Chains A and B, each alone.
Chain A
Amino acid sequence: MTDTWIILGATSSMARAFARKLAEEGATLYLAGRDMADLEASASDCKARGAADAHAVLFDARKPDTFAPILDQMGGEEGMLNAAVFVGSMPEQSEIDENPSLIDGTVIDSFTGPARFLQMLAPMMEERGGGTVVGVGSVAGDRGRVGNYVYGAAKAGFHTYLSGLRNRLTRSGGHVVTVKPGFVDTAMTWGIEGMFLVASPDQVAADLLKAVRKKRNVIYTPFFWRYIMLIIRSVPEPIFKKLSI
């Protein structure tokens, strides 16, 4: 694969695992995020694992002026352009209850920021007639729950956006994979009570790569979350509204 991939939110452990797999296949990587020192370390790691090249680039979902320079740089690459989005933020629902303005940041980080970036990338992909976008959403976006409905709402918005983007890019040979992970063993979930069936970032990354190859549209990872969410979605609202799951 001589493809170019941009990884948004590359400091997360899921993104790191995915970038490593792409590196071993010889891709060119743009690792985008805010912690430049960490991104530089990951870029070295990817190069040492076989990436054609790896760049650390500054990306802040809340600062849209960071987007254009990245896209300019990527425009210089040959071959297909691809993107994987791992950004998002999940403040405790109780923190949001105390300070409702946190909603804005959550929605920007988890939905509108990356969507705006993808919106700028899409014409470049269309011009080249292909490429894949992997958008990481969440099972939390499948139904609003009392525990984290703001984060869930942002992710639901992102899911819908990805669905539309898929509809658009497919016309020019491109593809969009929507990923809905269940619980993954990351810094975000470390030490939180009530985690079960936790998957490793490496397992998730392997699922993502497989989904890209097979051009899957929407995947749950690990796969059984599809059935868990099927059940949760099919609980009638009069009952669901009284549950706290």
Chain B
Amino acid sequence: MRWKTETYTGWGRALTATGEIARPERASALAALMGSTPSPAIGKCRSYGDACLNDNGRVVDMTRMDRVLSFDDKTGLIEVEAGLQVGEISRLYAPQGWLPAVMPGTGFATVGGCIANDVHGKNHHGLGSFGQHVTQIVLNQNGKEVTITPKNAGLWKATIGGLGQTGIIVRATLQMIACKGDVMMVTERRVDGWDEFLSVLDDSKATYTVGWIDATAKGDALGRGILEEGETGAGLLPKQKASKKVPFNAPHFALSKPIVKAFNNAYYRRVPDSGRTSVKPINDFFFPLDRIHDWNKLYGKRGFHQFQCVVPIDRADQLRAMLEMIANSGLASPLAVLKRMGPGRAGYLSFPMEGYTLAVDFPNRSAAQLLISKLEEMTEEAGGRLYLAKDALARPNRMKAMYPEWKDWLKVVKKADPEGALETDMTRRLELRSA
């Protein structure tokens, strides 16, 4: 297997790594590779920080291992190679009435990445996290294939959401859910402010619910935004226009305060006061930004950070205080999301907890880093937690304190990968592999 030396980044592009990458196309090549030089796996590098980086080390790019190995149209069980992208599964099977139970915010995420970060989607309040719908995983541990199911309690829970530290995820079996077809009925309505936002999120009866929030609005307008609710349906839609691509790094003023404010205002008013219901292709609803390839370049060459936290329901006051601080800072970008989360989670290091989750993007500047550090402190104080798939800045002790089952995870990981061959920049930065 040939290794290619490259400099690569997570989706936020604020952190980079330089190292050797192998990209096996066949199971036999992967097995040989893991037997001789076990290395952590990466997929489409859609995690924002350093979960997918291994500076000065080696990684295995899994994106060419992307086949559907079996599909049962009676039960919706599908076995796939770990490099298959989740948007490809919905493209293939939604027209036949099956959908991955959990769809993350980008269809480019690979199944392996979805498992290793135990991702969630717009239906977390109903169906929980991605890992809760995985029925079997085949791991490669130091060249040896090991098949695990939820019965392997410890290893299972350390693998799901476990940042790839128990072995490379080679294949997985997913239980899909039935859907009516590949179009989406989407209802959008304006929400005037914070309190109303919480109550509409609490009351939403929709299968898929997400809130876009204007993180620049202050005073009475604080917390205003748009509530989006979706249901799958069957129907016909006109042919899609081709997706667009951001060709180069945008200049730093592209997301400056006046531009973001003007954009957010227009975005808010785009939805009529009375609300509206429209029909969209399914992948457009789940992955709205995927139609603009490389949109992360809009943040310029310094990149950006996404702050995402979840706080318990009874600490919504803290989340409001955080949003206020963000709005007053004037540092936020248009990408800000508020969601109600259910309790569903499948691994020791899974992010979800019953509560509200807020995600906001910030261009990578020192002022934003300071703000994020303050937001992290407030999250910890409220008994909430940060999302490892988004994190690039947190300190070890804070992160470990937010994940009470971290020690259980560590115990399993030490056994699964005693040499530490699968460590990444993230596990080193957060000292996750040392007690």
Interface residue ranges, A against B (CB under 8 Å) = 11, 13, 16, 35, 37-38, 41-42, 44-45, 48-49, 186-187, 190-192
Chain A residues with CB under 8 A of B92: 48-49
A-B contact pairs, 12 of them (CB 8 A): A11-B26, A13-B25, A37-B28, A38-B28, A44-B68, A44-B69, A45-B67, A48-B68, A48-B70, A186-B25, A187-B29, A191-B3
Quick check: is B428 within 8 A (CB to CB) of the other chain?
A: no
Chain B: minimal CB distance from A88 (Å): 16
> How would residues 270 to 292 of chain B score, 1 for a CB under 8 Å from any chain A CB and 0 otherwise?
00000000000000000000000
- Name the residue of chain A whose CB is nearest to the CB of B73: A48
> How would residues 109 to 140 of chain B score, 1 for a CB under 8 Å from any chain A CB and 0 otherwise?
00000000000000000000000000000000
Q: Chain B: interface secondary structure?
A: mixed
Chain B residues with CB under 8 A of A38: 26-28
Chain A residues with CB under 8 A of B78: 48
Chain B residues with CB under 8 A of A37: 27-28
Chain A residues with CB under 8 A of B28: 35, 37-38
Pick the most buried of A38, A190, A192: most chain B CB atoms within 10 A of its CB.
Answer: A190
Quick check: is B64 within 8 A (CB to CB) of the other chain?
A: yes
Chain B: minimal CB distance from A52 (Å): 15
Report Cα–Cα, A161/B411, bound state, in Å. 62
Chain B: minimal CB distance from A229 (Å): 26
Chain B residues with CB under 8 A of A16: 25
Chain B residues with CB under 8 A of A11: 25-26
Whether the pair B27, A45 counts as a contact (CB closer than 8 A) is no
- Name the residue of chain B whose CB is nearest to the CB of A45: B67
Chain B residues with CB under 8 A of A44: 67-70
Report Cα–Cα, A13/B23, bound state, in Å. 12
Quick check: is B205 within 8 A (CB to CB) of the other chain?
A: no
Q: A13-B64, A191-B3 are in contact. Are A41 and B69 (CB under 8 A)?
A: yes
> How would residues 15 to 49 of chain B score, 1 for a CB under 8 Å from any chain A CB and 0 otherwise?
00000000111111100000000000000000000
Quick check: is B395 within 8 A (CB to CB) of the other chain?
A: no
Quick check: is B239 within 8 A (CB to CB) of the other chain?
A: no
Quick check: is B2 within 8 A (CB to CB) of the other chain?
A: yes
With contacts A48-B92, A186-B25 known, what are 18 further pairs, Cβ within 8 A? A11-B25, A11-B26, A37-B27, A37-B28, A38-B27, A41-B69, A41-B81, A44-B67, A45-B67, A48-B68, A48-B69, A48-B78, A49-B68, A49-B92, A187-B29, A190-B4, A191-B4, A191-B5
Chain B residues with CB under 8 A of A45: 67-69
Looking at chain B, what size class is its interface with the partner chain? 20 to 34
Chain B: minimal CB distance from A194 (Å): 13
Chain A: minimal CB distance from B39 (Å): 15
Chain B: minimal CB distance from A220 (Å): 23
Q: A38-B28, A190-B4, A191-B2 are in contact. Are A48 and B23 (CB under 8 A)?
A: no
Interface residue ranges, B against A (CB under 8 Å) = 2-5, 23-29, 64, 67-71, 78, 81, 92
Chain B residues with CB under 8 A of A48: 68-71, 78, 92
Pick the most buried of B3, B5, B28, B64: most chain A CB atoms within 10 A of its CB.
Answer: B64
Closest 3 CB pairs of A and B: A191-B4, A45-B67, A48-B68
Report Cα–Cα, A53/B92, bound state, in Å. 17
Chain B: minimal CB distance from A183 (Å): 14
Whether the pair A42, B67 counts as a contact (CB closer than 8 A) is yes
Report Cα–Cα, A16/B83, bound state, in Å. 15
Report Cα–Cα, A191/B22, bound state, in Å. 8
Chain A: minimal CB distance from B97 (Å): 15
Chain A: minimal CB distance from B240 (Å): 16
Chain B: minimal CB distance from A210 (Å): 16
Chain B residues with CB under 8 A of A190: 2, 4, 23
Report Cα–Cα, A77/B88, bound state, in Å. 30
- Name the residue of chain B whose CB is nearest to the CB of A48: B68
- Name the residue of chain B whose CB is nearest to the CB of A188: B2
Whether the pair A35, B68 counts as a contact (CB closer than 8 A) is no
Chain A: minimal CB distance from B21 (Å): 8
Chain A residues with CB under 8 A of B2: 187, 190-192
Report Cα–Cα, A11/B27, bound state, in Å. 11
Report Cα–Cα, A42/B67, bound state, in Å. 7
Report Cα–Cα, A125/B194, bound state, in Å. 70
Chain B: minimal CB distance from A6 (Å): 19
Chain A residues with CB under 8 A of B71: 48
Whether the pair B27, A41 counts as a contact (CB closer than 8 A) is yes
Chain B: minimal CB distance from A227 (Å): 23
Among A41, A186, A191, point to the contact of B67 (Cβ < 8 A). Answer: A41
Chain A: minimal CB distance from B380 (Å): 43
Chain B residues with CB under 8 A of A49: 68, 92
Report Cα–Cα, A44/B68, bound state, in Å. 7
Report Cα–Cα, A24/B26, bound state, in Å. 22
Chain B residues with CB under 8 A of A186: 25
Report Cα–Cα, A191/B23, bound state, in Å. 10
Chain A residues with CB under 8 A of B27: 37-38, 41
- Name the residue of chain A whose CB is nearest to the CB of B92: A49
Pick the most buried of B2, B23, B67: most chain A CB atoms within 10 A of its CB.
Answer: B67
Report Cα–Cα, A192/B179, bound state, in Å. 45
- Name the residue of chain A whose CB is nearest to the CB of B79: A44
Chain A residues with CB under 8 A of B70: 44, 48
Chain A: minimal CB distance from B164 (Å): 21
- Name the residue of chain B whose CB is nearest to the CB of A13: B25
- Name the residue of chain B whose CB is nearest to the CB of A49: B92
- Name the residue of chain A whose CB is nearest to the CB of B4: A191
Report Cα–Cα, A64/B23, bound state, in Å. 32
Chain B: minimal CB distance from A29 (Å): 14
Report Cα–Cα, A16/B81, bound state, in Å. 14
Q: A41-B69, A42-B67, A48-B70 are in contact. Are A35 and B26 (CB under 8 A)?
A: yes
Report Cα–Cα, A190/B64, bound state, in Å. 12
Report Cα–Cα, A49/B66, bound state, in Å. 12
Chain B residues with CB under 8 A of A35: 26, 28
